Chains A and B, each alone.
Chain A
Amino acid sequence: MTASNGMSNQRPETGSFFQRDREWHPPALTPQYKTSVLRSPQRALISLDNTISEITGPTFGHNIIGELDNDLILNFANPGQSAIGERIIVYGRVLDERGKGVPNVLVEFWQANAGGRYRHKKDGYLAPLDPNFGGCGRTITGEDGFYSFRTIKPGPYPWPNGVNDWRPRHIHFSIFGNGFAQRLITQMYFEGDPLIWKCPIVSTIPSREAIEALIAPLDMESTIPMDSMAYKFDIVLRGRRSTLFENRLEGN
């Protein structure tokens, strides 16, 4: 792990982050998603203006990324083979709330295979594993915050919540920003999937507008003809206050 700010001669930003809008995010207690009932704090969170412990965060050098890390069709496949399913490209930008691209940050993603089966010993779904599909990938955003990866479109799968609950097709995302307070995990859904509006995990999010922002549109202009379709998914992290007139610490 190395500091990746050697790419720029701008000073890193050190302002605190915009307050998180907790009416926009899902609340902790969402009884329709049953596991949240015993795993949700009941007392109020204690609010803190960011200290240096939250303004700072780890960075990852491009040197950790292997050649196939962002290609889930090939990164677990046997030589000469590839994963089965709808071949897609997922791409987008990591931005902050000010609309600025966030370069050089780690994006990790994981998903089920085309039949909705995860490569995990706790997943007992009867749909089979794909011997050429692992289900994880990662990349580091480029200049302006762009990222992309190639994978197969994951299938929906049933889960023990209600007696007949099915997750929509989705890809999990884990994103680092520049400060630990920006740390975020979310899920990307696919345009037009009718299961989105029936899902108790999706509906933990209070507003339709916030849910729509998790749905990736099909982007025919970014497909590779005769090869892969494409979906665009932009991710927005917390913005950062400017430090134009920041009070100096005592002693500085």
Chain B
Amino acid sequence: MQTLARLKETASQTAGPYVHIGLTPNFCDIGGIYPADLGTQLVNDKTRGERITVKSRVIDGSGTVLKDALVEIWQADADGLYNSPAEMRGSADPNFTGWGRCPADMDTGEFVFQTIKPGRVPFRDGRLMAPHITFWIVARGINLGLHTRMYFGDEDKANAEDPILQRVEHKVRVPTLIAPRDGDVYTFDIHLQGDKETIFFDI
């Protein structure tokens, strides 16, 4: 019999406490190598869509805010198209990257993304998912990056029909993915562990 001869994925390791050196060197005072840190600007003056601010924190099992985490986000544009070669449904807004990277503020642990509210994108069967932003979280003590999603607190109807949220067996956990809105600001606190533990996905 022939063998399938597949390779194994390279095993993950923690990003460690000095992840900034590699991913956001200007943020940790290593200047002059890259002109700017990647992922700090998602939008420009021409970006279509509703401007919003997303504020986030990552909190450990003792309730302590992580000061050394790093978060990346990935989202569709205002029309629900991704700025990616694998997007076959149309061309995304060229003035919107869809990808952001932010280190936790070393004093407050806060992440801030200036972005736009994404449009809805289809689930595999064609049903529309509710607007959402994908989060990927790495830090010292996290052995494999965590995937989660932020949904929007002012999208009750879309959230109620979202195929991913519908799949969550323990409905009491769904609110851990929904960021409340206050003005133009959505606040998404991510709890790694404990009673308020955020839903994380194996995707």
Contact = CB atoms under 8 A, between A and B. Distances in A.
A119 B7 contact: no
A180 B200 contact: no
Interface string B137-176: 0111111111101000000000000001001100001000
Q: Report whether over half of chain B's contact residues are helix, strand or loop; otherwise say mixed.
A: loop
Interface stretch (B22-30, B47-55, B109-117, B178-186): B22-30
B57 interface: no
A185 B12 contact: yes
A46 B167 contact: yes
A112 to B, nearest CB: 8
Contacts of A222: none
A136 interface: yes
Contacts of B21: 110, 118-120, 134-136
B9 to A, nearest CB: 5
> In the complex, which of the residues B99, B125, B136 has the most CB atoms of chain A within 10 Å of its own CB atom?
B99
Contacts of A96: 7
A162 to B, nearest CB: 15
A57 B72 CA distance: 11
A129 B134 CA distance: 37
Interface stretch (A18-26, A80-88, A224-232): A18-26
A130 B140 CA distance: 24
Interface string A3-44: 111000001111000011110111110100101111111110
A127 B50 CA distance: 50
Contact of A238 (B9, B30, B143, B199): B9
Given A26-B144, A41-B146, A99-B5, A179 B86 contact: yes
Interface residues of B, number: 82
Given A5-B85, A40-B193, A134-B33, A249 B124 contact: yes
Given A249-B124, A250-B126, A12 B85 contact: yes
Given A21-B8, A119-B21, A122-B68, A53 B145 contact: no
Nearest to A95: B7
B10 A53 contact: no
Nearest to A181: B203
18 contacts: A19-B202, A27-B143, A38-B62, A39-B139, A53-B76, A57-B99, A58-B83, A76-B32, A97-B6, A118-B18, A121-B28, A136-B30, A138-B34, A172-B13, A178-B86, A204-B14, A213-B10, A236-B7
Interface of A: 1, 3-5, 11-14, 19-22, 24-28, 30, 33, 35-43, 45-60, 64, 66, 68-69, 75-76, 95-99, 108-110, 118-123, 134-136, 138, 172, 174, 178-181, 183-187, 201-202, 204-205, 209-211, 213-214, 235-239, 249-252
Given A28-B142, A172-B18, A239-B6, 5 more contacts: A21-B9, A58-B74, A183-B145, A210-B11, A214-B10
Across the A-B interface, the 3 shortest Cβ-Cβ residue pairs: A110-B22, A35-B141, A56-B84
